[in-house]
């Protein structure tokens, strides 16, 4: 520990990470106002904010946000659930690993976005296709990290648990799952990243609602302010998902000092 | 009544004061192999109910393997192990083991760790866990994460976790090996006290002969998978380390152990005593060693003068200097 910092200095430290973004936005606004930057290329930040305000007033913004969020959550639940399940059984049973792992590793090496033409053929441009892509995108990070998490559980602790009368479900719930949790949550954070990425691509290709649809629609009418707004919304949603994952880490991994705020 | 019989009688009388809780352990011709290597070969051992047996031996001699067989964590390749006449088959509810590392679950609070695997209603289980924690002097740390505890405290929690199951056989696999000297002595006292209170049978694997003499009714030395020495410890309890009989016995077992180690090429140098400098408490023995390339060098061994008197050495004697691999200190020459 170094010498105690004064509260004023600490406040400065808290603001420091925001210095660069604020400067960039200020410069951007200046460039747009002076006319260095054509609004066809990039609208002023102020114009983006106004577009957001107007869309919020009309309610359109929330319809699209809600549609995107529902897709993300459903796809994540389906893909994450299946990934978690396979991670558990393949991590826990050698037989299951032998049976499934090679197949899954082969599928993993196909970029899931390359399947888009096929997915459109299969599902048309409805919801199912998008959910399928999101689910596929989140499946692998969760599968891989759950698998490694289970494998990385200290065998000494498992042996101890057994010799103290734990087995089956109790052993899994009290020793194996908590031991694998740090890895599983790493998988969740990766998966959240993949989730937004997949959703953006899926929504820009074919959709009748959602933020991606909003952006593509705006592009047709040269509404650059709405396009930029959509991009910013994705950034905000991504950040929120990351905050949620951190919150999970802080509550579920309370025991692990590595996951506690300094 | 012959002398031995009287001693036997006294021991039975002393044990009569303790709860008759322990089990009898019988090992007959136990064998354990790992691939080509035979770790235990036709080992026989009888342990009476409530007896405290210490197993010593150099590392890799099979002492921990024997303990794992008794715990039901491993299976013997031959021979028979039985507890109270029943053959050992897998884990037993009456047997608990304490490992070298405490093996506490870091994601459970101290009290939850102690309550691990206890059947029953949650409040009853926690109550029992709290009582066990109080017995090892850690009642006030019940709500903490294990990572907050020191090494000695963690082992005390592990001891409480073992005791809360009311084991009739407690197996201790070098549980104090990683602790500092003071904490170790404290833990030894605690283990002895709880053993007297609970009356379980205890089998302690240790590399510390002093610890074996302090705690055990019997010291068993294992060498190459067989029992090489089975030594009763007749010292009255509580034992004090300063005691002459204590030191003599420790020296005897240590001697036997070192002879065994001298046959082992690791961690030893052969040489000739060239000087002995004795002080009141400590003595130095200088040994001249000749290395493979013909260079002469000297090793100076410091030991207690009392120990030196018990094992007289003369200048010119051929000796083997043996040292523990984990207690070698390296320093740059001045």
CATH code, A63? 1.10.3720.10
Q: What tens digit of pLDDT does each residue of B96-108 get? A: 999 989 999 999 9
- Among the listed residues A19, A76, A78, the one whose alpha carbon sits nearest the alpha carbon of residue A244: A76
Residue B174 neighbours by CB under 8 Å, 6+ apart: B64, B100, B205, B206, B207
Look at the alpha carbons of A176, A180, A185, A191 in this order and tell me if their dihedral is positive or negative.
negative
B257, exposed or middle or buried, with CB in 10 Å at 0-12, 13-18, 19+? buried
Query: Which pLDDT does position A1 carry in this prediction?
Result: 46
Q: What tens digit of pLDDT does each residue of A63-113 get? A: 999 999 999 999 999 999 999 999 999 998 889 988 998 899 888 888 888
CATH number at residue B312: 2.40.50.100
Tokens coding A8: 């004023």
For residues B210 and B79, membership in a common domain is answered with: yes
Whether the predicted pLDDT of A132 surpasses 50: yes
Last residue of a domain, one of B231, B261, B291: B261
All residues of chain A having their beta carbon less than 8 Å from the beta carbon of residue B97 are: 163
For residues B314 and B225, membership in a common domain is answered with: no
A135 domain residue, yes or no: yes
Mean pLDDT of chain A: 88
Query: Which pLDDT does position B9 carry in this prediction?
Result: 54
Specify whether the backbone of A101 is left (phi greater than 0), alpha (psi in -120 to 50) or beta: alpha
Last residue of a domain, one of B232, B261, B290: B261
For residues B244 and B179, membership in a common domain is answered with: yes
Query: Which pLDDT does position A16 carry in this prediction?
Result: 85
What's the pLDDT band for A4 if we cut at 50, 70, 90? low
Nearest CA in chain B to A153: B105
Stretch A132-141: mean pLDDT: 94
For residues B90 and B174, membership in a common domain is answered with: yes
A31 domain residue, yes or no: no
Domain count, chain B: 2
Nearest CA in chain B to A255: B107
B157 domain residue, yes or no: no
- Among the listed residues A183, A123, A66, A178, the one whose alpha carbon sits nearest the alpha carbon of residue B116: A178
Last residue of a domain, one of B235, B261, B287: B261
**CA atoms of B277 and B289, how far apart (whole Å):** 18
Whether the CB of A255 is below 8 Å from some CB of chain B: the reply is yes
- Looking up tokens 């008794």, which residue turns up? B70
pLDDT < 70 positions in chain B? 1-20, 260-267, 323-328, 334
> Which among B73, B108, B117 is the nearest to A165, CB-wise?
B117
Query: Which pLDDT does position B95 carry in this prediction?
Result: 93
A235 domain residue, yes or no: yes
A164 to B99: CB separation less than 8 angstroms, yes or no: no
For residues B67 and B198, membership in a common domain is answered with: yes
B129 domain residue, yes or no: no
A208 domain residue, yes or no: yes
For residues B173 and B232, membership in a common domain is answered with: yes
Query: What is chain A's Cα-based Rg?
Result: 23
B59 domain residue, yes or no: yes
The angle, 0 to 180 degrees and rounded to 10, between the axes of the packed helices A177-205 and A224-252 is 170
3-class DSSP state for residue B266? coil
User: pLDDT over 70 for what percent of chain A?
Assistant: 97
B105 to A159: CB separation less than 8 angstroms, yes or no: no
Query: Which pLDDT does position B178 carry in this prediction?
Result: 83
Q: Which of residues 136-175 of A touch B (CB under 8 A)?
A: 156-157, 159-166, 170, 174-175
**pTM of this structure:** 0.74
**What is the extent of the structural domain holding A74?**
48-259
A73 domain residue, yes or no: yes
What's the pLDDT band for A158 if we cut at 50, 70, 90? very high
Q: Please, where are the H alpha helices in A112-255?
A: 116-123, 127-152, 155-163, 168-171, 177-205, 211-220, 224-252
A56 domain residue, yes or no: yes
**What is the extent of the structural domain holding B293?**
268-327
Domain count, chain A: 1
B165 to A165: CB separation less than 8 angstroms, yes or no: yes
Nearest CA in chain B to A258: B147
**CA atoms of B18 and B202, how far apart (whole Å):** 14
B108 domain residue, yes or no: no
For residues B84 and B40, membership in a common domain is answered with: yes
Looking at residue B157, what DSSP letter applies?
H
Nearest CA in chain B to A168: B117
For residues B212 and B310, membership in a common domain is answered with: no
A9 domain residue, yes or no: no
A164 domain residue, yes or no: yes
């Amino acid at each position: 520990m170094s010498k105690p910092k004064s509260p004023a200095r600490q406040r400065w430290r808290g603001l420091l990470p925001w210095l660069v973004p604020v400067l960039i936005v200020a410069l951007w606004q200046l460039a747009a106002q002076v006319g260095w930057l054509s609004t066809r290329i990039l609208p002023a930040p102020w114009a983006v904010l106004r577009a957001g305000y107007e869309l919020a007033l009309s309610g359109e913004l929330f319809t699209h946000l809600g549609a995107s969020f529902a897709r993300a959550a459903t796809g994540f639940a389906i893909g994450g659930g299946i990934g978690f399940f396979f991670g558990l059984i393949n991590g826990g049973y050698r037989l299951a690993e032998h049976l499934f792992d090679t197949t899954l590793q082969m599928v993993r090496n196909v970029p899931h976005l390359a399947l888009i033409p096929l997915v459109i053929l299969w599902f048309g441009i409805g919801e199912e296709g998008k959910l399928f892509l999101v689910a596929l995108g989140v499946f692998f990070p969760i599968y891989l990290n759950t698998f490694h998490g289970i494998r990385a559980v200290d065998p000494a602790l498992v042996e101890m648990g057994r010799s103290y009368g734990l087995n089956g479900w109790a052993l899994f719930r009290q020793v194996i799952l908590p031991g694998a949790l740090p890895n599983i949550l790493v998988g969740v954070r990766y998966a959240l990243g993949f989730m937004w990425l997949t959703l953006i691509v899926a929504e820009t290709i074919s959709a009748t609602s959602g933020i991606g649809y909003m952006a593509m629609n705006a592009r047709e009418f040269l509404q650059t302010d709405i396009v930029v707004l959509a991009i910013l919304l994705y950034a905000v949603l991504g950040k929120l998902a990351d905050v949620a994952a951190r919150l999970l880490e802080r509550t579920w991994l309370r025991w692990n000092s590595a996951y506690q705020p300094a | 009544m012959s002398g031995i019989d009287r001693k036997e009688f006294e021991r039975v009388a002393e044990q009569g004061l303790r709860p008759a809780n322990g089990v009898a352990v019988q090992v007959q011709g136990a064998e354990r192999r790992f691939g080509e290597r035979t770790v235990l070969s036709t080992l026989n051992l009888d342990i009476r109910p409530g007896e405290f047996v210490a197993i010593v031996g150099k590392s890799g001699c099979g002492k921990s393997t024997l303990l794992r067989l008794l715990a039901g964590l491993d299976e013997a390749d031959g021979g028979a192990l039985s507890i109270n006449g029943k053959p050992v088959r897998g884990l037993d509810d009456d047997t608990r083991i304490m490992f070298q590392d405490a093996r506490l679950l870091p994601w459970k609070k101290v009290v939850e760790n102690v309550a691990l695997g206890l059947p029953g209603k949650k409040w009853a289980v926690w109550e029992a866990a709290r009582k066990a924690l109080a017995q090892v002097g850690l009642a006030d740390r019940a709500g903490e994460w294990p990572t907050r505890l020191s090494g000695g405290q963690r082992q005390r929690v592990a001891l409480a976790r073992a005791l809360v199951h009311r084991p009739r056989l407690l197996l201790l696999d070098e549980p104090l090996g990683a602790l500092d000297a003071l904490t170790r002595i404290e833990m030894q006292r605690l283990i002895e006290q709880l053993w007297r209170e609970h009356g379980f049978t205890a089998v302690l694997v240790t590399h510390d002969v002093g610890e074996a003499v302090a705690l055990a009714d019997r010291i068993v030395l294992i060498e190459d998978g067989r029992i090489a020495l089975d030594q009763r410890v007749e010292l009255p309890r509580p034992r004090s380390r300063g005691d002459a009989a204590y030191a003599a016995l420790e020296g005897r077992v240590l001697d036997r152990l070192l002879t065994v180690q001298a046959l082992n090429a690791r961690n030893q140098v052969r040489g000739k005593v060239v000087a002995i400098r004795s002080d009141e408490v400590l003595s130095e023995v200088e040994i001249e060693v000749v290395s493979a390339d013909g260079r002469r060098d000297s090793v100076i061994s410091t030991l207690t003068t009392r120990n030196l008197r018990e094992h007289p050495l003369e200048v010119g004697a051929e000796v083997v200097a043996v040292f523990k691999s984990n207690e070698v200190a390296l320093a740059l020459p001045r």
